Amino acid sequence: MVCMIRVHKIKLNPNSAQSEYFVKACGVARHAYNWALGRWIGQYEAGLKPSESALRREYNAIKPVEFPWALEITKNAPQQAIKNVGTAFQNFFRRVKNGDKKPGYPKFKKKGVHDSFRADNGPQTAGADAVSVDGKRVKLPVIGWVRMRESVRFPGQIKSAVVSKMADGWHVALAIETEAQLERKANNGTVGVDLGIKALAVLSNGETVEGPKPHKILLKRLRRLNQSLSRKVKGSANWRKAKTKLSRLHKRIADIRNDAAHKLTTRLATEFDTVAIEDLNVSGMVQNHCLARSIMDGGFGELRRQIEYKAQMTGSNVVIVDCWFPSSRTCSSCGVIHIMPLSSRRMVCDCGNDMDRDLNAARNLAKYAASSAVSACGASSSGIAKAA
């Protein structure tokens, strides 16, 4: 069985001293990141070749003199932050090489925006790990044991822990190297999945999975809290309270969307041998401002990501069909391609086929995945489909 890294995010119940330590650790990590980013930019403009390893050595040399307050925090926090600067520039240069229009040059971090710090387990002896778990407790460097809301769901070796501040409190994301796999519940062959706006997904077997649409449902409350925040004096106590309420609502929307995605993708990965989905161009789809909110509310990108990694755990195949494949406009009975505007919600063909447009698309995806054009590894000679 192949090992893989899985992440379990759990809410923490820290006491006041631990919460204060987390705030300091996030501040040190943010300072180290901004310091390293500034040094990197300066060295690059001077014609030098910066590296995160050299910056870490330089930071450690000057830390006792220039940043003595950083000694109160685990050394993992600033070290990992400087490593993140190197990773950010690697990703930036990779996107530039690939010709992306928005490669995303690394930016300086702001206080209160994605505050977090990381601690890693290095090559230590057994029982001396910097991060360990005991039931509903997690041991972190310097601060010691911190209570968690729940236990870790799967066994394995803990590789790292990222403590972050979110709207409803502090959370820890544990990266665990584990052999735990999802259990296959059924072998229902091939299924085509058509992601949509009206329904979250329509399966080729005729099943329709309704989406929760949390953003649409909570939009009035979201607007009301946004309006309330705009009326407060920025930086005041009432402004912070209003901001916290708004942040909690945003997190609730994200949690509802993520829960629906996990339930759907787990079903697909555990009940079907092959799953066929379209390679949707979400960034292009949201250019339609009439549909942008509904498209983003579906979380199509996250659905695809979850299907791909869960299929690896169950041994299922995932076939990604090119976005230009006319799945909606092709009759699933006779194969004739029709000219259909987006407003036409039914496939009506001269052969007698009359069915919902999304169901027709899902059946075409399932047929394509099961056809001889797709090899056992998911590759296609025509380049329309590819394996995830």
The predicted-structure confidence for 37-81, as pLDDT tens digits, reads as follows 999 999 999 999 999 999 999 999 999 999 999 999 999 999 999
Q: Confirm whether 279 is a catalytic residue.
A: no
CA 200 – CA 46 distance, rounded (Å):
52
Residue 382 has a pLDDT of 34
Q: Are strands 169-178 and 4-13 parallel, antiparallel or unpaired?
A: antiparallel
Choose, from 115, 129, 278, 297, the residue flagged as catalytic.
278
Residue 267 has a pLDDT of 93
CA 116 – CA 9 distance, rounded (Å):
13
CA 134 to chain centre: 27
**What six digits make up the tokens of 2?**
């192949």
- Express as a percent the part of the chain with pLDDT over 90: 60
pLDDT tens sequence across 271-326: 999 999 998 878 778 777 887 888 888 888 899 999 998 998 888 899 999 888 88
Burial 101-119 (b: 16+ CB within 10 A, else e): eeeeebeebeeeeebbbbb
Q: Are strands 274-278 and 317-321 parallel, antiparallel or unpaired?
A: parallel
pTM of the model: 0.81
57 Cβ neighbours under 8 A, 6+ residues apart: none
| CB of 147 closer than 8 Å to CB of 136 | yes
**What six digits make up the tokens of 262?**
């996990």
Residue 296 has a pLDDT of 86
Q: CA-based angle 9:257:286, to the nearest 5?
A: 120
CA 126 – CA 104 distance, rounded (Å):
40
CA 361 – CA 366 distance, rounded (Å):
9
Choose, from 129, 194, 273, 297, the residue flagged as catalytic.
194
Q: What is the mean pLDDT of the chain?
A: 88
Classify residue 328 as exposed, middle or buried by CB count within 10 Å of its CB (0-12, 13-18, 19+): buried
282 Cβ neighbours under 8 A, 6+ residues apart: 295, 300, 301
Q: Confirm whether 358 is a catalytic residue.
A: yes
Residue 381 has a pLDDT of 35
**What six digits make up the tokens of 326?**
């006319």
CA 265 – CA 259 distance, rounded (Å):
10
Helices (H) and strands (E) in the chain, counts: 10, 15
| CB of 76 closer than 8 Å to CB of 122 | no
Residue 268 has a pLDDT of 93
- Residue 268's φ and ψ, nearest 5 degrees, are -65, -40
* Amino acid type, 125: T
Total count of residues recorded for the chain: 388
Task: Write out the chain's pLDDT in tens, 388 residues.
Answer: 567 888 999 999 999 999 999 999 999 999 999 999 999 999 999 999 999 999 999 999 999 999 999 999 999 999 999 999 999 999 999 999 998 888 889 999 999 889 999 998 876 544 567 899 999 999 999 999 999 999 998 888 999 999 999 987 999 999 999 886 788 888 888 999 999 888 899 999 989 999 899 999 999 999 999 999 999 999 999 999 999 999 999 999 999 999 999 999 999 999 999 999 998 878 778 777 887 888 888 888 899 999 998 998 888 899 999 888 888 888 888 888 888 887 788 888 888 888 888 899 999 999 888 884 444 444 433 333 443 3
SS3 171: strand
Q: Confirm whether 259 is a catalytic residue.
A: no
Within 10 A of 58 (CB to CB), how many other CB atoms are there? 14
**What six digits make up the tokens of 343?**
């407003």
Residue 356 has a pLDDT of 87
